[in-house]
Amino acid sequence: MDEIAPEYDVIVLGTGLTECILSGVLSVKGKKVLHIDRNDHYGADAASVNLEVLFKKYGNYAKGTEPWKQYGRLNDWNIDLVPKFLMSSGELTNILVSTDVTRYLEFKQVAGSYVQQGSGPRATVAKVPSDAGEALRSPLMGIFEKRRMKGFIEWVGSFNVKDTATHKGLDINTCTMKEVYDKFGLETTTKDFIGHAMALYPNDAYIDLKGGAVEAIDRIRLYGNSVARYGKSPYIYPLYGLGELPQGFARLSAIYGGTYMLNTTVDELVYEDGKAVGIKATMTGVDPEMTFETKAKMILGDPSYFPGKVRVVGHVLRAICVLKHPLASTNDADSCQLIIPQSQVGRKNDIYIACVSSAHNVCPKGYWIAIVSTIAETAANHHLELAPGLERLGRIEEQFMGSPIPLYEPLEDGTRDKIFISKSYDASSHFESTTDDVRDIYRRLAGEELVVEGLREGIQVADE
Amino acid sequence: MADLAGAPRPSSSVKLVLLGEAAVGKSSLVLRFVNNDFQENKEPTIGAAFLTQKCNLPTRTIKFEIWDTAGQERFASLAPMYYRNAQAALVVYDLTKPTSLVKAKHWVAELQRQASPGIVIALVGNKLDLTNDSGDGEGTDANDSGDARKVSTEEAKTYAEEESLLFFETSAKTGYNVTEVFTAIANAIPETSLKTARGAGASAAAASRAEEQRVNLNGPRDPNAKEGCAC
């Protein structure tokens, strides 16, 4: 067994996506990184797992039976634990391209982005219109509302925050999104799909936020630009599941000298004068077990490695479902996102359904994986909160739903104790908040903004 | 990904992964194959995503994408992504070090468990220059008895035959048998698995339909996309 160095610049705990992006970036920048995970696989909470692992994780089968055996080859299943898609013009795409991690991964479009209007059997499910032409064809709006929507979308396209001539007479720095909607005379149901299925806000808090219009417009433009990039939907998704993303960044780190250890538990964080200076850890799965101690200038990791240094800020409800058919009203899409805005089903938070299939090499042919999720609003009866989403799925072959999943946030920013902790993956349908967290952590630990553009240029690369 | 229509020979990309104990000469073999170069006391590999090299066969051209483990195998932490869609593997041992063959057998088992069923595996005993039968008749630069061989050709060959592996003894230092390994691998890759290139395992019809939705993130962005909304 090789030697562990006596000291590293950074020790990273947990191989989730946030941690792996940071490991990759820090390694390229010449930092000596030791990256550890207690699990026997990459990805931590952002892993993709096979059906056997999923059944065992949720324990929903009779002892002595092996229900996963009726679903074909285990290796054909890559089921995400956290359902998210990449915005094709979003920040994660930018990081992937800038770091060249795209060389290890292949992406495909998500076939459609849908929104629900109304509830129960009479609900309408329709494609989210992303340009003026689609707005005019959309069944989501009446004839006059379509014209108003067309006017709104065209205005968003020409909007320039620096050019007051494009502000329609609004004081854009202080006005709310409600004032913008009212300017165009948009109906409540239209606001609903704009705010929730295009700007992708999980609730209605954004509407009355003073000065919130600019961010909302930016988010609608990100949606529009992302759709325009490849055509079918604003989303892309990696073949073999989201678990490929952390693996890709871990490889980036490794080729720049990062050291990787799975199956390794942290026995103790070592402090000096209130600052973290190293770890004591044990690698299992090898004979004999290897116990070691090493130092580092800083430690970063996911919340599960730092109980007592994080707090719970909410809970996500999530049901992973295996289907043998596509979602209804999605034109038999091999993949899609369906958003049920909160107001349509009497909730405060939206319900998201992310659906992928064999087209993305995440399951054998003939199966679809649909993950229904929302933010918990009650202390019990969580299955009822997800019910409007589960109703959309039709017959469900297998359903995996555990207790509400706590969302953690660090108590401190890490500058005092040199421990930098990431946030849990939130309920949002994409990775924009994850990359915000990556940038935030980088700023805290490096004291400067993360610039990924041109990151690998000018670096001496052996053998290339 | 697109076929080179009109090109004299069809060309296909083949992902080849390197496996083997540290310091058996994995990178040196590749360096010899790609650059026809050898570096004494080469540092462990850093910074290479993967190397590419073409191999011209009479009827087709194979472009190898050669993936190095980047050290992730050191603490048994190689990611499944590494094996994903690999169509060929080079499992290297040092024929002066019996434990490296044990390790090589471990990697062969791992490949048979994790990789695509049709993967072509070559078992390669490297550092033939340190033995008496160095192939180029030059003998050896090892001292005293002159033969540092500790793994017999017969033992490794028998094992390779049992497991249906290609088998070669090479010297990255002298270049002996190196090109032959890659040519043999290129020849052994079934024509059918080349057709579907990276989507190995998928049916041809599904692959072509699926191809429409595949996206190239490195492709040029719509120049207007960043500033103005394309709405």
pLDDT of res. A319: 97
A contact test, residue of B77, B106, B110, B227 with most A CBs within 10 A: B77
Question: Using a CB-CB distance cutoff of 8 angstroms, which residues of chain A are in contact with residue B229?
Answer: 156-159, 220-221, 224-225
pLDDT of res. A464: 32
Q: How confident is the model at residue B205 (pLDDT cuts 50, 70, 90)?
A: very low
Q: How far is A309 from chain B (nearest CA, A)?
A: 28
Contact A82, B189 (CB under 8 A): no
Eight-state DSSP code of residue A205? G
pLDDT of res. A385: 95
pTM, 2 dp: 0.89
pLDDT digits (tens, 9 = 90+) for A355-406: 999 999 999 999 999 999 999 999 888 889 999 999 999 999 999 999 999 9
Q: Give the three-class secondary structure for A333.
A: coil
Residue at A192: amino acid letter: D
The verdict on A261 touching B (C-beta cutoff 8 Å) is yes
**Among the ranges given (A173-177, A429-433, B29-33, B207-211), the one the predictor scored with the smallest mean pLDDT:** B207-211
The per-residue pLDDT of chain A, averaged, comes to 94
Angle at B136 between CA B132 and CA B142, to 5 degrees: 35
pLDDT digits (tens, 9 = 90+) for B72-94: 888 878 898 998 889 999 999 99
Eight-state DSSP code of residue A124? E
B contact test, residue of A134, A225, A431 with most B CBs within 10 A: A225
Question: Using a CB-CB distance cutoff of 8 angstroms, which residues of chain B are in contact with residue A107?
Answer: 214-215, 217
Q: Could you tell me the end-to-end alpha-carbon distance of chain A, in angstroms, rounded to an integer? A: 29
Locate B206 and state its tokens.
Answer: 């599904």
Q: How confident is the model at residue B115 (pLDDT cuts 50, 70, 90)?
A: confident
Tell whether the model's pLDDT for residue B127 goes beyond 90. Answer: yes
Which residue(s) pair with B51 in the sheet?
A: B66
Contact A320, A369 (CB under 8 A): yes
Q: Find residues 355-374 of chain A whose CB sits inside 8 Å of chain B.
A: 359, 365
Q: How confident is the model at residue B207 (pLDDT cuts 50, 70, 90)?
A: very low
Helices and strands of chain A, counted as H and E runs: 11, 20
Tell whether the model's pLDDT for residue B209 goes beyond 70. Answer: no
Q: Find residues 444-463 of chain A whose CB sits inside 8 Å of chain B.
A: 459-463
Q: How confident is the model at residue A455 (pLDDT cuts 50, 70, 90)?
A: confident
Contact A270, A278 (CB under 8 A): yes
Q: What is the mean pLDDT of residues B32-49?
A: 69
Q: How far is A260 from chain B (nearest CA, A)?
A: 6
What's the CA gap between A292 and A300, in Å, rounded? Answer: 18
Alpha-carbon Rg for chain A in angstroms: 23
Locate A447 and state its tokens.
Answer: 């004291």
Locate B137 and state its tokens.
Answer: 């008749």
pLDDT digits (tens, 9 = 90+) for A39-77: 999 999 999 999 999 999 999 999 999 999 999 999 899
- Closest by CA to A316, choosing from A426, A437, A200, A201, is A426
Tell whether the model's pLDDT for residue A266 goes beyond 80. Answer: yes
pLDDT of res. A445: 96
A79 versus B56: the higher-pLDDT residue is A79
Q: Give the three-class secondary structure for A43.
A: coil
Question: Using a CB-CB distance cutoff of 8 angstroms, which residues of chain A are in contact with residue B47?
Answer: 255-256, 459-464
What's the CA gap between A228 and B215, in Å, rounded? Answer: 13
pLDDT of res. B215: 83
**Among the ranges given (A195-204, A426-435, B71-80, B104-113), the one the predictor scored with the smallest mean pLDDT:** B71-80
Phi, psi of B121 (to 5 degrees): -115, 130
Q: Find residues 59-98 of chain A whose CB sits inside 8 Å of chain B.
A: 75, 88-89, 93, 96-97
Residues with Cβ < 8 Å from B57, sequence gap 6 or more? B9, B183, B186, B187
Phi, psi of B54 (to 5 degrees): -85, 150
What's the CA gap between A248 and A25, in Å, rounded? Answer: 12
Locate A184 and state its tokens.
Answer: 């165009």
Tell whether the model's pLDDT for residue B141 goes beyond 60. Answer: no
The per-residue pLDDT of chain B, averaged, comes to 79
Question: Of B77, B221, B231, which has the smallest distance from its Cβ to A229's Cβ?
Answer: B221
Tell whether the model's pLDDT for residue B143 goes beyond 60. Answer: no
State whether B47 and A462 contact (CB < 8 Å): yes
pLDDT digits (tens, 9 = 90+) for A99-129: 989 988 999 999 999 999 999 888 999 999 8
Contact A110, A235 (CB under 8 A): yes
pLDDT of res. B8: 63
The verdict on B231 touching A (C-beta cutoff 8 Å) is yes
C-alpha torsion B193→B197→B201→B203, nearest 10: -100
Tell whether the model's pLDDT for residue B213 goes beyond 80. Answer: no
Q: Tell me the HSE value of A417 on the side-chain side, using a 13 A CA sphere.
A: 16
The verdict on A278 touching B (C-beta cutoff 8 Å) is no
Q: How far is A60 from chain B (nearest CA, A)?
A: 26
Tell whether the model's pLDDT for residue B222 goes beyond 50. Answer: no
The verdict on A437 touching B (C-beta cutoff 8 Å) is no
Question: Using a CB-CB distance cutoff of 8 angstroms, which residues of chain A are in contact with residue B230?
Answer: 131, 157, 224-225, 227-228
A contact test, residue of B13, B30, B74, B75 with most A CBs within 10 A: B75
To 10 degrees, what angle do helices A17-28 and A432-446 make?
Answer: 50
pLDDT of res. B69: 86
Contact B141, B96 (CB under 8 A): no
Angle at B147 between CA B142 and CA B151, to 5 degrees: 120
pLDDT of res. A435: 96
Tell whether the model's pLDDT for residue A289 goes beyond 70. Answer: yes
What is the CA A234 to chain-centroid distance, rounded?
Answer: 14
Tell whether the model's pLDDT for residue B176 goes beyond 90. Answer: yes
Eight-state DSSP code of residue B85? T
pLDDT of res. A451: 93
- Please give the helix or strand (H or E) that residue A318 lies within, else none: strand A310-323
Residues of chain A above pLDDT 90, percent:
90
pLDDT of res. B220: 58
The verdict on B1 touching A (C-beta cutoff 8 Å) is no
Q: How confident is the model at residue B170 (pLDDT cuts 50, 70, 90)?
A: very high
pLDDT of res. B198: 45
Residues of chain A above pLDDT 70, percent:
98
pLDDT of res. A97: 92
pLDDT digits (tens, 9 = 90+) for A414-451: 999 999 999 999 988 999 999 999 999 999 999 999 99
Contacts for A115-120: CB closer than 8 Å, 24+ residues apart: A115/A140, A115/A193, A115/A196, A115/A197, A115/A338, A115/A339, A115/A340, A115/A341, A116/A338, A116/A339, A116/A340, A116/A341, A116/A344, A116/A392, A117/A189, A117/A192, A117/A193, A117/A344, A118/A344, A119/A344, A119/A345, A119/A346, A119/A388, A120/A391
Tell whether the model's pLDDT for residue A157 goes beyond 50. Answer: yes
pLDDT of res. B68: 86
Question: Of B31, B47, B218, which has the smallest distance from its Cβ to A256's Cβ?
Answer: B47
pLDDT digits (tens, 9 = 90+) for A291-328: 999 999 999 999 999 999 999 999 999 999 999 999 99
What's the CA gap between A191 and A186, in Å, rounded? Answer: 7
What's the CA gap between A294 and A290, in Å, rounded? Answer: 13
Q: How confident is the model at residue B230 (pLDDT cuts 50, 70, 90)?
A: very low
pLDDT of res. A379: 87
To 10 degrees, what angle do helices A91-98 and A432-446 make?
Answer: 60
Q: Give the three-class secondary structure for B63.
A: strand
Phi, psi of A434 (to 5 degrees): -65, -45
Q: Using CA of residue A54, residue A56, residue A62, residue A65, what is the dihedral sign? A: positive
